[in-house]
A and B are shown apart, each in its own frame.
Chain A
């Protein structure tokens, strides 16, 4: 068996790591499963591809980040100012973004085969794979490092408290609507950056790349928590990255061993997420069942 696929899926996992980080921020810190992700991922992918095709790969990544942040702000506004249910707000933005994305791209897909990518400048010194590994690795490290620092600031702490006890944030004289907006912008910025990195690494952008991203992000976060638990913020961020890599390796292994068809991917991801999220409920039921049985014995 050729083990190169492990390296490939590891790289893919790093490309998707920012997605996992973004989902972690909304799902675990803000306590809102934000469905904007499916749209903002493609938004980043589209923006990055268009800029790369125009000869600006680095600017493309930056603009992808900003584009995602704007998408996050839209969802944030819908949630806070317009009072729309958080899940519906995400769905609305995601749905609307489809039109924006296809407008940005100009066609359902863009090829970047002949364009410079953000890692091209290193390809001569390293190999193509080496260049991608190094640059993507640096981007992931930067994101984790900056996020870990950010969550140690007052604003970062307020964001963490917002998902925990909104009234308390208000009592600390901070507007929770503001912290929600910042968190959503940050989260979707990261998700879009992930899309942007992926587009240039794989050398093409497709309008349908975003579908199911929220599930992949959730799966990564949850798998990471299996390894690290939920302790400090830094560990949680690292665990999201590791979860993203492990998720890709699991999928690649399963495909390699012909455990299932590539088309079954989404269903299997969904099942992984559903089952993992159900564990606490199952645990309680099992314990109740055992208590009842014990009580029955002694009766």
Chain B
């Protein structure tokens, strides 16, 4: 459903600081794939997500989503099909709007007209029911300003917002990295449930190798703007954390040098 062909992107092209961030990415996702993306800092994971979501235009190559070439489609138009979540809980929500207004904003992606009411009674009910699935009691605080929620709560709500209108593709950019381990685990559980429930095609960047292997059906590893490893099926099922780190060592001729990953190594 997503087909990326020979994608290249160089930042600050033509200057001494030129940085070749994506070097010929080829990737095909099948419907319902849940791909975890790993790699050290600066490997190009977030850049790849930005390219898919349309934060910038790529220098060459193509991105096709559901048979439609979106290589040059504007970011806000791609957002109709692609939902994203970021590491920073502040990025995905509007702090001065209430929780239900935030939900309404996410819901405006549906076919609603610009001048229809943002928050009808049915909508409010739908938003309550959606948030009730979180079991966090947020559904009783619909008129609270978003900014008053904790980071974990905001991220949980942001996840429900991202999937309120089921997207064709969900991009999760380390969406639990800023949360404490317990909350992170909870948000990951919710992620698993929501993605499975709507069978959303998903890509998730994570620095936690263990969850990279335990979640989803496929893992890709990026290094210096390229995909160096693409694991799925039994090969992936039989792999443990140390096995994956060994594979990385073989492919890249160096240790996976991310301190966060090393910390996560044991669990």
Contact = CB atoms under 8 A, between A and B. Distances in A.
Interface of A: 152-158, 160-161, 164-165, 167-176
A142 B74 CA distance: 37
Interface residues of B, number: 31
Contacts of A176: 76
A153 B116 contact: yes
Contacts of A158: 105, 108, 114
A23 to B, nearest CB: 18
Contact of A165 (B84, B91, B113, B119): B91
Contacts of A164: 94-97
Contacts, number: 80
Given A152-B118, A167-B91, 5 more contacts: A153-B114, A165-B95, A171-B83, A172-B108, A173-B80
B contacts with A: majority SS: loop
Nearest to A162: B94
B104 interface: yes
B13 to A, nearest CB: 19
A154 B108 contact: yes
Given A164-B94, A167-B91, A172 B105 contact: yes
A232 to B, nearest CB: 10
Contacts of A157: 97, 101, 104-105, 108, 118-119
A152 to B, nearest CB: 6
Contacts of A168: 91-94, 105
A169 B102 CA distance: 10
B115 interface: yes
Contacts of A152: 117-119
A116 to B, nearest CB: 35
29 contacts: A152-B118, A153-B116, A153-B117, A154-B104, A154-B113, A154-B114, A154-B117, A155-B114, A157-B101, A158-B108, A161-B97, A164-B94, A164-B97, A168-B91, A168-B92, A168-B94, A170-B76, A170-B79, A171-B79, A171-B92, A171-B106, A172-B79, A172-B106, A173-B77, A173-B80, A173-B108, A173-B109, A174-B76, A174-B108
Contacts of B118: 152-154, 156-157
A171 B106 CA distance: 8
A156 to B, nearest CB: 7
